Structure 1
Amino acid sequence: MKKLFALVLAVSGSAASAQTPTTNPMPDGSRDMYAGLGVVSGPRYEGADSSRTAALPVLQIQWSNGIFVSGMSAGMHLSASPLVEYGPLLALHPRRTESGTGGRLDGVEGSAKPFLPSSVRTYESDNPLAGMDEIRMRPEAGAFFNYYLAPEWRLTSSVLAGAGNDRNGVRAALGIQRLAMALARHHSVSVSAGLGLANRAYQQSYFGVSPAQALASGNRVYRPEGGLKDVYVGARWNWALSPSWMLTSSAHLSRLAGDARHSPLVERSTNLTVSTAIAYRF
């Protein structure tokens, strides 16, 4: 079964899961690499009502031994079966400052207009994160497991642990992907959908408000439980400009769910992240 090497970009600082590229059979000792630069626009933080735009570095490498780097994640394909992909997974979970910046869209304040009509709640402060603790960038470790229903369809799953200042946040993701649908010569589209889960520690770190934080920020005390965190749909369009150059664009629409959706830090539960980048294949 031939599996296409799909270029995936980790553009959302709070994406439900780290995206794993498909297995790419290649001669021993070889590697496949994309590198480039683009632009991404999305919410300042999960649940923000304002957005920001920033430069987007593109990097994806896969070696013949199964090791890969994809955006802010890395892992290793261990399966020899054409129907199954699994292995260890590492990722960096971005930091979140009082302003909401500091994630993978780092460097641009949220001055752009929201993508969707506003349903923002009313606060004494214009920024519900004012007075909240900064959440540091944390390394996460876990595993992924993907199963192919057909050559172009795969079920995806991953678990990552280590997020939050106490390093005890755990998140998981379940999804389905349709890979590389040909629209025309040199043009292909991939689509995906799925959901994200998180434990209580993760929810408290990113959506909860402790009594001390409530005093500092003016938000009400909030203690979310673990469970369903969000649902999402996404699409990616790849345009092969030449054998070496590719233009890749994506849209990722997510909606917070469960206790995360009702957090006093959430201004709008539905967010859209869009990106476009040009990449060179080495």
Structure 2
Amino acid sequence: MNRFSELLGSRKPIWLLAPFAVTCSATPARAQTPSPLAEWQYSSGIQLQRLFEPKIPTWQVELGLGTQFAPAAPGLNRYRIQGGPGIDIRYKNRFFLSTGEGLGVNLFSFRHISFGTAISYDLGRSPHVDGEALNGLGTIHPAPELKVFATTVLTEGFPLTIRVDIRKQFGASFGYIGDVGAYMPMPGSSKTFSWFLGPTVTLADARYMNTYFGVSHAQAASSKYHYYHAHGGFRSAGIGISANYFVTPHVIINLNAAYERLLGSAAKSPITQTVNEGVVSLSALYKF
């Protein structure tokens, strides 16, 4: 039996110590849609905290600053650096305000499963983010999203966490987009360091796909692209990592990174310059 199997088979694996399980993850304000970061990376460790902590604090507050290196828009080769605040506030395991997850409420929350809703946002897309590449396609304006999500952990001995969410845009595409993701705490963690790893698949309806990857007849007439109708279905698949290092009990360095590959109509779109996308986000946070 290898070392990893021994850890999984033990009653209380050393990489599931309470200080590790309670670690939250906050990201910069501009790390929301459309970022290659997975939805689970905004809240890694929250469900495990409910599973392993006998009593969750009334208030949990993390504030700080962060920066992100990510594509200027989905499918584009150009990357840019953006900075902003990192905010993650949680009250009584019920309400939360997060730069990654939005403003939301856990409608019900138990040790192994939780279900909730939130208001988040889509940053849209400017036609000027990549020189002349998007000329004639118009602006996709920022828009609020209504999100419904569910998270579950399999068992204490094998804490694979599965998260499903669906988001409805009120503006921008007025479409639906959602994720199915899973992640797991990884060996090598301690009281001062923790990390999670897992895959994500993203799906979207035709309205969302056409807004970001389609080319209407009007857009074709005013741009260099031919008419293209995008279909709903798989948008992308990828894998992400979320890590936290406690410099002190109150100062946290948070690193999120992800890779995704565009699929289906998103990959075939004439707008798409590359099907491979990556993102790195680094934050310094103070835990009150």
TM range (shorter): 0.7 to 0.9
How much does 1:182 deviate? 4.0
Q: Name the CA distance, whole Å, in 2 between partners of 1:98 and 1:214.
A: 14
Q: Which residue of 1 aligns with 2:58?
A: 30
Equivalent position SS for 2:226: coil
Q: Which residue of 2 aligns with 1:160?
A: 167
Q: Which residue of 2 aligns with 1:70?
A: 98
* Conserved? CA contact 1:252–1:272, under 8 Å: yes
How much does 1:214 deviate? 0.8
Letter in 1 for 2:87: L
How much does 1:192 deviate? 1.9
Cα RMSD (Å) of the superposition? 2.4
Q: Name the CA distance, whole Å, in 1 between partners of 2:256 and 2:109.
A: 30
Structure 1 portions without partners, runs of 5+: 101-109, 111-125
Q: Which residue of 2 aligns with 1:49?
A: 77
Equivalent position SS for 1:272: strand
Q: Which residue of 1 aligns with 2:236?
A: 230
Q: Which residue of 1 aligns with 2:155?
A: 150
* Conserved? CA contact 2:205–2:233, under 8 Å: yes
TM-score (norm. length: structure 1):
0.83
* Conserved? CA contact 1:194–1:232, under 8 Å: yes
How much does 1:249 deviate? 1.0
How much does 1:12 deviate? 5.0
Q: Name the CA distance, whole Å, in 1 between partners of 2:80 and 2:265.
A: 25
Equivalent position SS for 1:128: coil
Letter in 2 for 1:230: S
Q: Which residue of 2 aligns with 1:13?
A: 33
* Conserved? CA contact 1:128–1:217, under 8 Å: no
Q: Which residue of 2 aligns with 1:98?
A: 127
CA displacement 1:132-189 (0-9 Å, x = unmatched) = 1101111111310111113432111001101553x52100110101136543551111
Letter in 2 for 1:6: C
Segment drifting more, 172-181 vs 14-23: 14-23
* Conserved? CA contact 1:231–1:256, under 8 Å: yes
How much does 1:81 deviate? 2.3
Pair 1:8–1:56, CA change in 2 (3 A)? same
User: Which structure shows the bigger proportion of residues in helix conformation?
Assistant: 2
How much does 1:267 deviate? 0.5
Are 1:82 and 2:111 counterparts? yes
How much does 1:80 deviate? 3.9
Equivalent position SS for 1:183: coil
Q: Which residue of 1 aligns with 2:13?
A: none
Q: Which residue of 2 aligns with 1:122?
A: none
How much does 1:131 deviate? 1.3
Pair 1:18–1:80, CA change in 2 (3 A)? closer
Letter in 2 for 1:138: A
Pair 1:245–1:39, CA change in 2 (3 A)? same
Q: Which residue of 2 aligns with 1:117?
A: none
Are 1:179 and 2:208 counterparts? no
Equivalent position SS for 2:139: coil
Pair 1:179–1:4, CA change in 2 (3 A)? farther
How much does 1:29 deviate? 8.5
Equivalent position SS for 2:197: strand
Q: Name the CA distance, whole Å, in 1 between partners of 2:260 and 2:149.
A: 21
